[in-house]
Amino acid sequence: MNALRLQNITYSYEEDKILDKFNLEVKKGHNICICASDSMGKSTLAKLFKYKIKYLGSYYINEVEVVKANSYIIDNFVNVVTFDNNLENKKVVDLLFDAFKDLDEENQTKEVNKIIRYFKIKDSLTFKYNELSIENKYYLYLIINLLCKDKYLVIDNILCYLRKSMIDKIYSYAKKNKVTIINITANLEEVFYSEYMICLYHGKIAMEGDIISCLKEERLLKRLGFKLPFMYDLSLQLNYYEVIDGIYLDEDEMISKIWN
């Protein structure tokens, strides 16, 4: 079965238990969002996916357990995008060509042009990576990691730097190219890009399920340190006053419903 699976993962830093018998299974093509407030294990989990920390428990990729002797298989299946990125300070166009270095020159050019058009990054091509804005740096960083098809892409608190149109492009491309996204975030506004959400609290799963079912647990979410996503909360308020009937997560759709 094609899946990424963590089984009974425990990790402690000094005397603090960061993850405690943590279990997770992500099936290929099933995007999930792992939510946690500060100091609840987000960055630790990202490091674990890349095999950067020592832990107790088991880590499986497509039913093969990852151990020290075969840890190289992680590079074949898992990309982790963190705040501390390490792209070379080259021109954007050169970084894109590097991503297709296994192709001949003609196909390289063809694929790079496709990416430029799809992600609408023509205006950034002549800039060096370090000359880009924070938003465009992370957008490019995600794009390059997306170009490795049939992988799991772990995103650690990065989408908050991007505008909605950029995030839409990232998820759309991932879906078309069979890249499974595991988004680790402190921002509940990002859950709607996934099919399933998990809330962490002191290293354990405090809540999990489909997005709407979890958001209905408003009291528990507040205790876990979260605010309801703006559009979901607004829908609840407008439902209460009978302005609309139902939950609308898209602003244009809600406006259209109100006017109708």
Render each residue's pLDDT in the chain as its tens digit; 260 residues. 689 999 999 998 887 888 989 999 999 889 999 998 877 778 899 999 999 999 999 999 999 999 999 999 998 899 999 887 778 999 999 999 999 999 999 999 999 999 999 999 999 999 999 999 999 999 999 999 998 766 899 999 999 999 999 999 999 999 999 999 999 999 999 999 999 999 988 888 899 999 999 999 999 999 998 989 999 999 999 998 888 988 888 888 888 888 87
Q: Give pLDDT, residue 161.
A: 94
Q: Give pLDDT, residue 107.
A: 96
Q: Give pLDDT, residue 153.
A: 95
pTM above 0.75, yes or no: yes
Q: Give pLDDT, residue 149.
A: 67
The backbone region for 106, taken as left when phi is positive above 0, alpha when psi lies in -120 to 50, beta otherwise, is alpha
Write down the CATH superfamily of domain 3-89+128-228.
P-loop containing nucleotide triphosphate hydrolases (3.40.50.300)
Q: Residue 143's closest CA among 161, 119, 164?
A: 119
Please give the biggest Cα pair distance in the chain.
62
Q: Give pLDDT, residue 148.
A: 76
Q: Residue 208's closest CA among 60, 34, 43, 59?
A: 34
Residues near 258 by beta carbon (within 8 Å), at least 6 away in sequence: 238, 243, 244
Indicate the domain borders of the chain: 3-89+128-228
CB 213 within 8 A of CB 252: no
Tokens at 229, concatenated? 């996503």
CB 64 within 8 A of CB 73: yes
Question: Pairing between strand 56-61 and 64-65?
Answer: antiparallel
Tokens at 78, concatenated? 């898992």
The SS3 call for residue 114 is: helix
What is the spatial distance between Cα 19 and Cα 41, in angstroms, rounded to a whole number? 7
Rg (CA), the chain: 20
Tokens at 251, concatenated? 């602003």
Q: Residue 26's closest CA among 4, 49, 7?
A: 4
Q: In terms of C-beta density within 10 A (0-12 exposed, 13-18 middle, 19 or more buried), how is residue 38 classed? A: exposed
What is the spatial distance between Cα 112 and Cα 110, in angstroms, rounded to a whole number? 6
Q: Give pLDDT, residue 42.
A: 85
Q: Residue 146's closest CA among 133, 157, 136, 155?
A: 155
Tokens at 163, concatenated? 């505008």
The H-assigned helical ranges of the chain are 42-49, 73-77, 92-99, 105-119, 134-146, 164-176, 211-215, 218-223, 230-240, 251-259
What phi and psi values does residue 259 have, to the nearest 5 degrees? -70, -30
